[in-house]
Amino acid sequence: MIVTVTLNAAFDRTLTVPNFQPGSRNRASDAMSLAGGKGVNIARTLKRLGEPVIATGLAGGRTGTAIIESLTAEGILNDFVRIRCESRMSTAVIDPNGAQTEIIEHGPPVVDDELEMLMEKISYLARGADIFVLAGSLPLNVPEDFYARVIREIKGQVLTALDAQGPPLRLGLAADPDLVSPNVREAEEIVGYELNDDHDLVGAAETIAGHGVHSAIVHQADGCVARLREPSSKHAKTYRALLPAREAASTVGSGDALIGGYLAGLSRGDDLESRLALAVACGAANTLSPGAGVVDSGDVDALRRQVQVWRVDEVANTAV
């Protein structure tokens, strides 16, 4: 069982507006509404890949009810803590050129007793889980070290994956999660320099893994660079997974789908190369239609056959 934790869950609306004109009245040709937030998106990908998953987190007000009802309608098991304030909404507009504009609310303030209720639920769910995913931004009033606290609380019981940015990511790294998966911009914030090519990506993945993380996956539009170490091994390996970027209907949630694919492969016992191929295929499949974490198994299978995966450190050693 995989558990995803989303403190700042959202109700997402995606509008396709063929003749979008700022400052004027526009009509949408299509609309999609889904529960959202990074952990929810990861849960959606896992569900569509046939993996057992439970989504938990915080949800409040009518928007929170809509989030829970949306997950239930998708067949995604969920067990959220209800909070007093209203959960956030987000709106994305896809214009005639395929560009996507997002408007995202901050999220509700959370009080101490609500946060402690979530901690109790996490401790309970950790007893029957194999993997825990902590993902997304933190709502108002939640300490920036919350993810670090959770990781330390359940470390040793389950494998922990962290998908965040800014201070929650940096502080979370200090708790030694088993896996982190930043995009290029988030990785740049950690390592302190721009990532311009594969050599930079390799250095960033190795630097992030050097913080004590078992595995680090730095992803971008054409795949990822990953520094991976099995829990039972002391030796890490560095890989490059490549699938040339193609025209996308929407890129929102592609990183979430990628980590969902990797965790699905891990849960199934796939080898490292197979996990990365599945991860990159899921990230690419997510771009084929609107909706974060929405992947089609047929698209994933077709794309996975096109992903190239190779050992970067082996190539470097051979060159020497």
Instruction: Give catalytic residues, as residue numbers.
Output: 256
Q: List the Cα angle 199/254/287 in 5-degree steps.
A: 110
CA–CA separation, 139 vs 129, rounded Å?
25
Could you tell me how many residues make up the chain? 320
Q: Select from 218, 227, 133, 213 the least CA-distant residue to 176.
A: 213
Are 163 and 292 a contacting pair, CB within 8 Å? Answer: no
**Cα-flanking dihedrals φ and ψ of residue 252, to 5°?**
-65, 125
Q: Select from 156, 181, 161 the least CA-distant residue to 279.
A: 181
Helix 38-48 vs helix 254-268: crossing angle, to nearest 10 = 50
Strand-pairing partners, residue 2, are 53, 131
List C-alpha distances in Å: 170 to 99, 209, 244, 254: 31, 12, 30, 22
For residue 212, which amino acid is it?
A: G
Strand intervals (E) in the chain: 2-6, 10-16, 30-36, 53-60, 77-83, 88-94, 100-104, 131-135, 159-163, 179-180, 215-220, 223-228, 237-242, 308-311
